[in-house]
Structure 1
């Protein structure tokens, strides 16, 4: 994606009546892009009527409705959801959420504008805060997050949103497009790909022959975690399921990198539609991941620290670079046969048993017992 470019001209094919290339320019570069189709969209701006409505209410407007870290405007009875700790208002009858709001300059949070983050997550944050306002007698709803203390009242910090941004569209020719990427300010693709920590890209299919096989692009960051998903196909997309792949480590995706390097994956669409992946798409899988993370944060009496804290300390020692092979094997040996492994195994089996009706393709002790019921008297297991 290219940012801060202005349209200059295009090349038109008189014989086929289509545009073959288009030219843009920035302050430092002239760019020509070959294309099959062009869609021109004007940049979204604040309309005159909206501006007049805001300013007539004596609200501060600075490219957007200015709010504090509680989404409150200069009028204590009006709230507008920008990026704020709670995205709410003092007036229980007035709440708002959207990209029209903007943090006050005193937060130095231009990079934390709401337009850079998941709107659903922002709305959920606002909803939880409203719930706490309306039900003051109930215990406050707090996120189980290592950084939750940063977002409490009195802290001059804006909320930290982590869910991905997902965009999908139906293009001309019955082509389905979908993009899932990390939240935050986006760097131009040609700049990001030159970074040493960009990671690697796995692709299948071809954009020019999507009728035969859809195009699937998967970007893994330097930690082998899915950071960007791009899909283009004429078939229907499983949008919700594919979104669940974001943020997962490639080992959790059935050793994706190893299988891809062995050329055993010809179509990523088909690979992620196989039965092994169904647990990842379950609506309770995130809860399972959170429970496992809590287990790894438990402190053992022998070590005095949790295995997760041990990994973090090694990463700090490496200045947040990947663990060395020796460090990795050391952590692997600590986990194998430990109480951590036992509890994680129990938690995963509990998840599979509780959701057996939805995930019958996974083996678990209960399913194995049903399959082997009566095997003691079966001729297949009896030598006599």
Structure 2
């Protein structure tokens, strides 16, 4: 990367996730001029909740990113699908990329290509799993207690999926808070390392028919173009929603322009269900995550005070 920064070539960042925005911000922080960066978005599949231009579920954040990219001079291309590298010739090293789009084909010269279009399973990891005779069905298959088909091997994380007998293909560990899943795995393994622990009470046999319930917030965040610090925490769900739920109410302070945007969504029961922060200053993420799942009455009657005009800045 240090060799690239000293050249005049282009960097192409390809994908639709938040990773492409943090990658662009990193390049800008490395003093790569914005006009040398091309952000290429894929077309979204039918029924997808996210627009091709943004992975954010908050339209205000999406607008802020659009303005920040324009101000930085970054080129943004929408609805493009990678078709060829080096015009179909030897792909090493990569010097050009060709994309199909809704209008004209797009061809870009490049010195660096960041392909963040999809997350897959590393070939060496797959080969290791396959050689160990573990059941693999697009992902490593586990039960509700993290067991693979080999009772001595447990697994967790986005590499795994629940067995089909649970009829829950829409759910996986990637849908939940990674730290919470890791804590449950640690609790399952701890008795093997600490013989002083009392044996756990055996769960009912039919409980294994249901996938576990994880309740902590699914968290997304990072440093985005424009120098913004971003945090988005929401309840686990099958597919991220691009619109706010109808039920409940919103608590909003600050503005994008002033760099102190703070948005809370409360569900119909008055519980904090979504937290969105976009700030030009660093903020204590762990403190704000404590708001998730709390009733507004526990937050010093937040709704009443907000309605009375007493809450001007949630960061304070």
Matches within 5 A, 1:20-169: 24-27=43-46, 35-36=66-67, 37=69, 41-81=116-156, 98-135=157-194, 138-140=197-199, 152=204, 155-156=207-208, 157-169=210-222
Retained in 2: the 8 A contact 1:200–1:221?
yes
Whole-angstrom distance in 2 between the partners of 1:32 and 1:250: 35
Whole-angstrom distance in 1 between the partners of 2:42 and 2:175: 27
Partner of residue 206, structure 1: 255
Which deviations, in whole Å up to 9, do the C-alpha atoms of 1:195-226 show, x marking residues without a partner? 4xx2111111222x1xx341001000111110
Look up the SS of the partner of 2:276 in the other structure: strand
Which deviations, in whole Å up to 9, do the C-alpha atoms of 1:134-171 show, x marking residues without a partner? 445632457xxxxxx9x655522222211112233122
Provide the TM-score with structure 2 as the length reference: 0.62
Look up the SS of the partner of 2:189 in the other structure: helix
* CA pair 179-256 structure 1, distance change in 2 beyond 3 A: same
Whole-angstrom distance in 1 between the partners of 2:42 and 2:122: 29
- Structure 2: which 5+ runs fail to align? 1-15, 18-33, 54-62, 70-75, 77-113
* CA pair 75-218 structure 1, distance change in 2 beyond 3 A: same
Look up the SS of the partner of 2:179 in the other structure: helix
Partner of residue 176, structure 1: 229
Larger relative contact order, structure 1 or 2 (CA cutoff 8 Å, min sep 6): 2
RMSD: 3.3
Higher CA-based Rg: 1
Q: Comparing both structures, which one devotes a greater share of its residues to strand?
A: 2
Look up the SS of the partner of 1:129 in the other structure: helix
* CA pair 214-40 structure 1, distance change in 2 beyond 3 A: farther
Whole-angstrom distance in 2 between the partners of 1:255 and 1:21: 45
Matches within 5 A, 1:228-307: 228-270=274-316
Whole-angstrom distance in 1 between the partners of 2:195 and 2:42: 58
Q: Comparing both structures, which one devotes a greater share of its residues to helix?
A: 1
- Structure 1: which 5+ runs fail to align? 5-15, 82-97, 143-148, 271-384
Look up the SS of the partner of 1:180 in the other structure: strand
